[in-house]
Structure 1
Amino acid sequence: MEPSNSKIAFFSTQPYDKTFFNKYNEGFGFQLNFFETQLNPQTVALIEECEIVCVFVNDIVNETVINQLAEKKVKIIALRCAGFNNVDLEAAKKHEIKVCRVPAYSPQAVAEHAMAMILTLNRKTHKAYNRVREQNFSLNGLLGFDLFGKTIGIIGTGNIGKAFSKIALGFGCKVLAYDIVESEEMKKDGVSFVGLEEIFKSSDIISLHCPLNEQTKHVINTTSISFMKDSVMIINTSRGGLIETSSVIEGLKEGKIGYLGIDVYEQEEKLFFRDLSADIIQDDAIQRLMSFPNVLVTAHQAFFTNEALTQIALVTFNNIKSLLTRNDIENKSALLV
């Protein structure tokens, strides 16, 4: 099958997706169909004569959807992201549907956003910006702390965790890390690998950079929070399900959690990537979180750089081309099934 004859159905499409994928498709020649809607059991009916579907983090690609994709003779599910917890890989394997992803696009983009959230929460630059625009030049309530010398705990040391550790070390922080596989490169840089409980107990700031799976779901919960230092800062730029929202709300109310920065949220598929400014949001948990003065929420923005979107488009197209032409991908971490 020639790539130029192949049609790709994109779901959860935003304007910037169209811009970048159309731009870089000039070198591939695919036929691109863009749908703004999420892929789910109802919207799968939109697919007509497509061999490939391209999905994002909040698309639902469960067994029901995959069964319907198989009926429509879809051969490839291409994730334009690194995480794949929303895809039933066993169902895809059963129907001999290939599943690929973008394992690394710009680790620096997410790592830099994590540090930006830390600095914003600490130095309250978002509040200072609004104050000055109202001609309020008072410093009261804007007190922060030196990052230098503080202990930052990193959970998950893949490409993003590694990039973030270099940034944290550059600020003069003591960096602790936890992962199933310890990075020798990070150890040489001065990072200390410790147990998960030690991360909770010793860190002034905890940054989550691990995938979401059965072992990591709700790694931040009532028990883990109880181990943490008073006024701990928690940053999550990975997956919303790593945090048990109700436990974090209690931690904030009790003052145990001093700062929370989240770029992801467990129920984000109903909220993020949409303009809901004229709507009444029914999600009480996110409304409660946003009511805290020491909580910063960004809407899955960490990946959103020119470099990252360029890589996402190129790697996605190259993955699809490789699967169509030789049924394999040279980078084995990109091929899930």
Structure 2
Amino acid sequence: MLVKLIEPLRVPKDYIDELAQPIKDKGHEFVYYDEKTTDPQELYERSKDADILMIANNPLPNEVIEQLDKTQLINVAFTGIDHVGSQAREKGINISNAAGYSDQSVAELVIGLTLDVYRSISQGNTDIRKEEFPGMIQGREIKGKTVGIIGTGKIGLQTAALFKAFGAKLIGYNRTEKEEAKELGLEYRGLDELLKESDIVSVHLLLNDETKGTLSKEKLALMKETAILINCARGPIIDNDALAALLNEGKISGAGLDVFDMEPPIPSDYPLLQAKNAVLTPHVAYLTDEAMVNRAKIVFENTVKFLDDELTDFM
């Protein structure tokens, strides 16, 4: 089989070569492109003859997928697969992902954004550099606060564990209740109840047709005026225009956001850029040295399992 990795994975090429060696040892061919492209024609040229296509978080659009005749597996070095065109499933192409590679990195950024919103770290860094120092900002503590985890999958639970270490009370919302969540001390609620009770709301849902717009204007309006919202999952899960308006009206006290309705760069007229008490980062929750090594390892392991007819965990 021909295996192609059509974009870089942010790890040294020597590590890619090491991970690819088992593929070659089995008699298969491996090709690696170490430069990213978003041009559909170039994506097709890189992909057209591959039996196994390995990608990261670069979109693979339907106009490319619909031309693929040999591809049996799209192996995604990422948790979400919403950037893979729907034609893949219609053509019967298997899709796998690198679940779990960035659980810790995402959870840690959730804590970082929470601390920044609560303690005005970014604002303090700006203020201390001003010739006319405007004065200190009084913050809040996580200890004793009620944290609502929306989506108690692996990342949600890892985040919950970190909040627990700070002394927070945990409540959660999920389609199914999980024993490991209850073992952490998390109590399940309906979504409305969670939004009404929480001091800190952290979003951890996958993006699909069912979850898009889950936190609508009406749902967001249920939050306490003193509450903050953290989103390191996917932007379209939230009505972000409504969130910006509620922040500016003081109906929600703050937000820490790593994801938006589009990938950065963000248009200058995007309402959240002007929203009060919003700390924004450019979709980097997954992006740590350790997570990049993890995902490379997982995606190559998935390839080897598929070649050995042992990969069964398809998306």
What does residue range 294-313 of structure 1 map to in structure 2 within 5 Å?
294-313=277-296
Mapped partners of 1:290, 1:17: distance in 2: 35
Change (3 A) 1:20 1:115: farther
What does residue range 147-186 of structure 1 map to in structure 2 within 5 Å?
147-186=142-181
Aligned length: 310
- The percent identity for this pair of structures is 29
Matched, 1:216 2:215: no
1:128 Cα deviation after fit? 1.9
1:197 Cα deviation after fit? 0.5
**Following TM superposition, where does structure 1 have runs of at least 4 consecutive aligned residues deviating by more than 6 angstroms?**
none
Mapped partners of 1:41, 1:247: distance in 2: 38
What letter corresponds to residue 116 of structure 2 in structure 1? T
**CA RMSD across the alignment:** 2.5
Change (3 A) 1:239 1:22: farther
Change (3 A) 1:117 1:20: farther
1:119 Cα deviation after fit? 0.2
1:50 Cα deviation after fit? 2.8
What does residue range 1-337 of structure 1 map to in structure 2 within 5 Å?
1=1, 6-11=2-7, 13=8, 15-16=10-11, 21-22=16-17, 24-26=19-21, 28-29=23-24, 30-38=30-38, 40=40, 43-47=43-47, 49-62=49-62, 64-70=63-69, 73-88=70-85, 91-134=87-130, 139-140=135-136, 142-268=137-263, 271=264, 282=267, 284-285=269-270, 288-326=271-309, 328-329=310-311, 332-333=312-313, 335-336=314-315
What letter corresponds to residue 78 of structure 1 in structure 2? N
SS of match in other structure, 2:100:
coil
Gaps of 5+ in 2: 25-29
SS of match in other structure, 1:257:
coil
What letter corresponds to residue 31 of structure 2 in structure 1? Q
Change (3 A) 1:128 1:33: same
Mapped partners of 2:22, 2:101: distance in 1: 19
SS of match in other structure, 1:181:
coil
Greater fraction of residues in helix: 1
Gaps of 5+ in 1: 273-280
SS of match in other structure, 1:190:
coil
1:210 Cα deviation after fit? 1.0
Mapped partners of 2:9, 2:272: distance in 1: 26
Which region of structure 1 is more displaced relative to structure 2, 26-35 or 171-180?
26-35
TM-score normalised to the size of structure 2? 0.88
CA deviations on 1:110-159 (whole Å, 9 max, x unpaired) are: 1111011000111111222233345766643x211121111110000011
Which region of structure 1 is more displaced relative to structure 2, 34-43 or 238-247?
34-43
Change (3 A) 1:282 1:148: closer
1:256 Cα deviation after fit? 1.1
Mapped partners of 2:85, 2:48: distance in 1: 22
What letter corresponds to residue 248 of structure 2 in structure 1? K
Change (3 A) 1:217 1:41: farther
CA deviations on 1:154-208 (whole Å, 9 max, x unpaired) are: 0000110111111111111111100011111221221110100011111111100
Mapped partners of 1:14, 1:297: distance in 2: 24
Mapped partners of 1:38, 1:18: distance in 2: 21
CA deviations on 1:245-289 (whole Å, 9 max, x unpaired) are: 211121122111211111111211xx25xxxxxxxx64521xx32
Change (3 A) 1:173 1:19: farther
